[in-house]
Amino acid sequence: MNPDLLQHLAERTPGIVVTLLGIERQIIPYLDSIKMLSMHNSDSVVEEGKWVRVRKGRYKGDVGLVVAVKFWGAEVLLVPRLKLHLTHSTPNSTSSLKRKRTTDIPQPGLFNPEDTNNIPCPRRLDNGHYTYMGHVFEHGLIRKRFDLHSILSAPTSMPSCLFFLFKLSEHPSIQASTIPRPQEWVFEVHEVVVICSSKKEGIITAIQAMHAEVELTHGEGTIAIPLHDLRKVFVAGDSVSITSGSLNGRTGLVINIDNDIAYIVNNSSEGGTLHIDGSDSIQVL
């Protein structure tokens, strides 16, 4: 191969360190050298319409949907984590100016352009999206740019709080995607489930990372269904046990079910009614 062409290729290959003195060279272990015989295009790491996990920064650990792939990385839709901008927040003493910078990560929440605390006011674009504090917002979600080293592909789950916020946004790209299931949702083989999109019932025969094999009732055969499209079958009056989250291990009696919210009378000494997001985080006793 032409030495100049080899130099040009090496300088543009991800993972090769280039300093002011040129390419940094080190001895590569034999087993690693074999793996380097096959090179992969960095653009193939992520694809438009696929879900990824952020590796660093304010959104570290969060998942998002890739909506555009560029030569420098990807544009990703995420649930915003914005600091509150209070209209009447003023320091009450000079000591407050010397406080150490907090490392607390803001809680996730959909962006509301009509929030009276938004200063300056968000600007509406011709396509119906908004810009605010240098960011673009679509259906309440933030559109951020990441290089390919800052994201990981193929997450199989996400926290339920993010799942429900993504669904609540009703963003067309989110609705058209195969959204990862909430990590708190637990399915098991032989459980009776209902398919949300078709209202058909069946029994789980196998579970994969993103879908389950469901044998439909009435001899309709077995089909693969995304996990987020399944709900466990239980009704008001069932005794249940909570199987995930901060209330894991609690038991109670189901008194009402409204969409994905189950209302459960708490059996513990604390009493009261528990509100559980996602019917799949409870197990019928």
The answer regarding whether domain 239-284 maps to CATH 2.30.30.30 reads yes
- For 50-96, the pLDDT digits (tens) are 999 999 889 999 999 999 998 888 999 999 998 754 333 334 434 44
The domain limits of the chain are: 3-37, 51-84+106-175, 184-232, 239-284
DSSP class per residue in 174-227: HHTS-PPEETT----TT-EEEETTT--EEEEEEE-SSEEEEEEGGG--EEEEEG
Provide long-range contacts, Cβ within 8 A and 24+ apart, for 186-192: 186/243, 186/244, 186/280, 186/281, 186/283, 187/212, 187/227, 187/230, 187/232, 187/280, 191/232, 192/232, 192/233
72 to 46, 145, 146, 147, 273: CA distances (angstroms): 12, 9, 8, 6, 50
**pLDDT per position as a tens digit, 132-161:** 988 999 999 999 999 888 998 878 888 888
279 pLDDT tier (thresholds 50, 70, 90): very low
Least confident of 30-39, 109-118, 262-271: 30-39
Q: What is the CATH number of domain 184-232?
A: 2.30.30.30
Reported as a pLDDT band with limits 50, 70 and 90, residue 43 is very low
- The full length of the chain comes to 285
Q: Give the model confidence (pLDDT) of 6-38 as tens digits.
A: 677 666 666 566 676 677 777 777 776 665 565
Q: Do domains 184-232 and 239-284 have the same CATH topology?
A: yes
